[in-house]
Amino acid sequence: MPMSRKPGAKSSTATAVHETLAAVLQVRDGELQVLLWERAREPEAGAWALPGGVLDAAETLEESIRRHLAAKVDVRELSHLEQLRTLSEPDRHPGGRVLATAYLGLVPAGIDPALPEDTAWHPVDELPRTAFDHGAVALAGRERLRAKLSYTNLGFALAPPTFTISELRSLYRAALGHAVSATNLQRVLPRRRLLVETGERRGPGRTGGRPAALFRFRTQDLEVTDQFAVLRPPGRAFAGGGG
């Protein structure tokens, strides 16, 4: 027998708004940074937010986030975009029921896309006051990136087209939050055929030394290389399967 609603009780079937958000990360000035924009209106005026907005009825989730990102950064500069998590806490937004699908986006080093005046890059380790749950999403994006740098070839999305092993090591250090042994990178990445020598060399820097070999990633498509691998700080062995 169906249950009847008590007199005066409010219906809980109000339509929820669905939005898309993106934690767009890039290694800049030796730090992993995230793209944020400053809110000018309430709620959360003056707080910094991830780019995003409402999902239109006629678009997919990816079409939505790419549309909203285009208002903040040239989406052609994104080297990688993937779904990160769904946010469904009933009280996550003071304006009412708002669901969100969050994405992780990556921009390769060396690119400096033009940004609107209200938008800027911020170190993930030193976030300003963020709106709603956007700070937690930025940190979740960082953790997803860190995990995938160990067991996939996702480093291609952080790196410029060509690089030396030393330059790649610096990018990994910034993203992982700890130094990575150059020996480990040389052993693990080429051994798994993730890197290809270009045949070119980078000229010596101000301190001299021999020209360094230039590499590129073999593919710009995401691949799982060792699902059990973990890149560890120097002094701790690289954990992973054979390869």
Q: How confident is the model at residue 134 (pLDDT cuts 50, 70, 90)?
A: very high
**Structural domain boundaries in the chain:** 17-149, 152-217
Task: Decide: 92 and 12 in contact? Cβ < 8 Å.
Answer: no
Q: Is the dihedral of CA 88, 58, 52, 176 positive or negative?
A: positive
Q: Determine the Cα–Cα distance for residues 192 and 225; give it in Å rounded to an integer.
A: 7
Q: Determine the Cα–Cα distance for residues 59 and 190; give it in Å rounded to an integer.
A: 41
Q: What is the dihedral angle through the alpha carbons of 111, 116, 119, 120, rounded to the nearest 10 degrees?
A: 40
Instruction: Report the run of H or E that residue 196 belongs to, with start and end.
Output: strand 195-202
CATH code given to domain 152-217: 1.10.10.10
CATH architecture, domain defined by 17-149: Alpha-Beta Complex (3.90)
pLDDT recorded at residue 230: 76
Q: What is the dihedral angle through the alpha carbons of 142, 179, 148, 157, rounded to the nearest 10 degrees?
A: 80
Mean pLDDT of 113-117: 93
**What is the pTM for the complete model shown?**
0.88
**What are the contacts of 160-166 at 24+ separation with CB within 8 A?**
160/108, 160/109, 160/110, 161/216, 162/198, 162/200, 162/214, 162/215, 162/216, 163/214, 163/215, 163/216, 164/202, 164/212, 164/213, 164/214, 164/215, 165/212, 165/213, 165/215, 166/212
Mean pLDDT of 106-131: 96
pLDDT recorded at residue 189: 81
pLDDT recorded at residue 183: 76
Task: Decide: 102 and 87 in contact? Cβ < 8 Å.
Answer: yes
DSSP string, 41-78: SSSSTT-EE-SEEEPPTTS-HHHHHHHHHHTTS-GGG-
Least confident of 10-19, 60-69, 214-223: 10-19
pLDDT digits (tens, 9 = 90+) for 185-242: 777 787 778 999 999 998 776 666 688 999 999 999 999 988 777 787 876 555 555 4
